[in-house]
Structure 1
Amino acid sequence: MKEENPSSIVGSKSFTAVAINCAAKAGEWVKTKLGTVEQPHLKVSVADLVTEIDRGSERLIRKLISTHFPNHAFLGEEGVEPGAAASSQAIAAAKDAEYLWIVDPIDGTTNFVHGFPFFCVSIALAHKGEVIVGVIYDPISDELFVAEKGKGAYVHGKRLAVSKEQTLEQSLLASGFPADPSYALPLNLQSMVHLAPKVRNIRAAGSAALHLAHLAAGRLTGFWEYNLNSWDLAAGSLILQEAGGTITDIEGSPYQLEVRNVVATNGHIHQELLQELRKSNQ
């Protein structure tokens, strides 16, 4: 059956309902495994970890999605070889699919391994390259962030709205410490050093998806990071935009699935943050 509207009901299950169900089930399962990981596996560096829990969460989500939508394409972090080049190739090959599910089974694996309670399950659905559903579930706080294209963003039924800060100096920003030690990490540290005296403060809690969700909820003013992947950003990009925020690449071009260097804000400080980031990298 071909859907005329990307948000329509298919086989009695809406896309959003399936995404919510998958995120909730995977998140609850992941939470039961907290504290059980003895030896994580390294990917590209000591800061880039994967566990059997990541893989199990992805298998669970893939199975649930394929039950409802067997013909949809699926891009999960654990199905892609480590490294920026492999990630870029994977999204380039998949992005033009009619329907593509983009999944991070645990965003914040390092936090999960250490028992630091800031990680989530991130699930997005793109229709011909445009994100139409985004769901981020934080099992520790039991917050489920949901957005459908054109229908707003919500957490526990409450509509999300970005913060109202108008200037960088009033802003609470978030960023991260990228796993790539040769390119992205030095660049991000340079930006942090440049920005820290110009803002209220900076947080780096270890989950890009959750940072975007908190930005959409008005708890942060802006976020930037280098060398992220589509599964880190896709769901959060829609949730943020539906909450009134702005997300672009580092040059200020609109977000699309292949963006890796990202800037996201409440909209009010976007140009100012872009400008300072450019200065930091000169």
Structure 2
Amino acid sequence: MNPTTNIAVRAARKAGSILMRYYNRIDTLTISEKQANDYVSEVDRATEAAIIEVIRRAYPNHAILAEESGEHAGNDYQWIIDPLDGTTNYLHGFPQFSISVALQHRGELISAAVYDPLRDEMFTASRGQGAQLNDRRLRVSDQRSLKGALIGTGIPFRDQRYLADYLAMLGAMVEDTAGIRRPGSAALDFAYVAAGRLDGFWELGLSVWDFAAGVLLVREAGGAVSDIRGGNRHLESGNVIAGNLKVHQAMVKRLAPHVPEALRA
């Protein structure tokens, strides 16, 4: 791992220790609703502060974009942080959540860490150096078509303007795949695509901190990531498809008739 990926790992592990400290006493947390169906607790803020502290100690001049505290000014390097991806799962004791830490330089993702503290699984990637799970090299699956593929997704829960379109996409994907999974942590969904546990994934309306690290994981594991139309505006739009090369291509084609006009620009 390069030095910045090592810092991402260190920050994610520190955040993970905080999440696990509170996991068995969630009922003591103060929880508030940021917007409809979107919650935040003191543990989100504590883990974010811990991540930022680790980054600032190593790279005091780097910029930061964090889910809870927003933008922190800096130079051409920007860290993109989701301190608890899957907050609703965490607050319900549902065992699927993660920490996501990515670094980009002038728009190019160069380091990533996605950490599942429950399973002690650390997914990492460094640009041009591949992706790993606990130091074991990752590769996307070798599934060649949608027939028999296991696909992950995220159901719209904040902005439901395109819910009907999404349901049409879901119907199209169910047709001949092995099944659809909606675990509830996009960062882990991307990590699972990189690890070959999922053959593909799609979602609408993600925030950049949800999946920036995941993009690098999938690409360094030999997969493809695009926006919902197969273009390169995924980080900007939050409408995303990921998968191994064959499945990604097939998903773009399968979903195309159901993409709403507003998302075609």
Answer yes or no: same fold by TM over 0.5.
yes
1:247 aligns to what? 225
Question: Which one of 2, 26, 36 corresponds to residue 45 of structure 1?
Answer: 36
Deviation of 1:181 after TM superposition, in Å, equals 4.3
Percent sequence identity over aligned pairs: 41
**Residue 70 in 1 paired to residue 60 in 2?**
yes
SS at match of 2:237: coil
TM-score when normalising by structure 2:
0.92
2:20 aligns to what? 31
Closer, same or farther in 2 for the Cα pair 1:63/1:184, shift >3 Å? farther
Deviation of 1:280 after TM superposition, in Å, equals 2.6
Gaps of 5+ in 2: 261-265
Q: Measure the CA separation in 2 of the matches of 1:199 and 1:255.
A: 26
SS at match of 2:236: coil
Out of 131-140 and 257-266, give the one that drifted further: 257-266
Gaps of 5+ in 1: 1-6, 9-13, 81-89
1:175 aligns to what? 153
1:220 aligns to what? 198
**Residue 260 in 1 paired to residue 231 in 2?**
no
Q: Measure the CA separation in 1 of the matches of 2:69 and 2:153.
A: 26
Kept in 1, the 8 Å contact 2:82–2:99? The answer is yes
Q: Measure the CA separation in 2 of the matches of 1:255 and 1:144.
A: 27
Deviation of 1:233 after TM superposition, in Å, equals 1.0
1:206 aligns to what? 184
Give per-residue Cα distances to partners, 1:157-188, cap 9 Å, x unaligned.
11000001111112100001222243244432
Deviation of 1:191 after TM superposition, in Å, equals 1.3
1:86 aligns to what? none
How many aligned residue pairs are there? Answer: 258
Give per-residue Cα distances to partners, 1:204-245, cap 9 Å, x unaligned.
000000000011000001000000011011101001100000
Give per-residue Cα distances to partners, 1:67-105, cap 9 Å, x unaligned.
11111001000124xxxxxxxxx6xx98x9510000000
2:120 aligns to what? 142
AA matched with 1:57: T
Question: Which one of 69, 81, 102 corresponds to residue 79 of structure 1?
Answer: 69
Deviation of 1:272 after TM superposition, in Å, equals 1.5
2:4 aligns to what? 15
The two structures, once aligned, show a CA RMSD in angstroms of: 1.9
TM-score when normalising by structure 1:
0.86
Kept in 2, the 8 Å contact 1:97–1:129? The answer is no
Q: Measure the CA separation in 2 of the matches of 1:74 and 1:52.
A: 20
Kept in 1, the 8 Å contact 2:228–2:234? The answer is no
Q: Measure the CA separation in 1 of the matches of 2:226 and 2:20.
A: 32
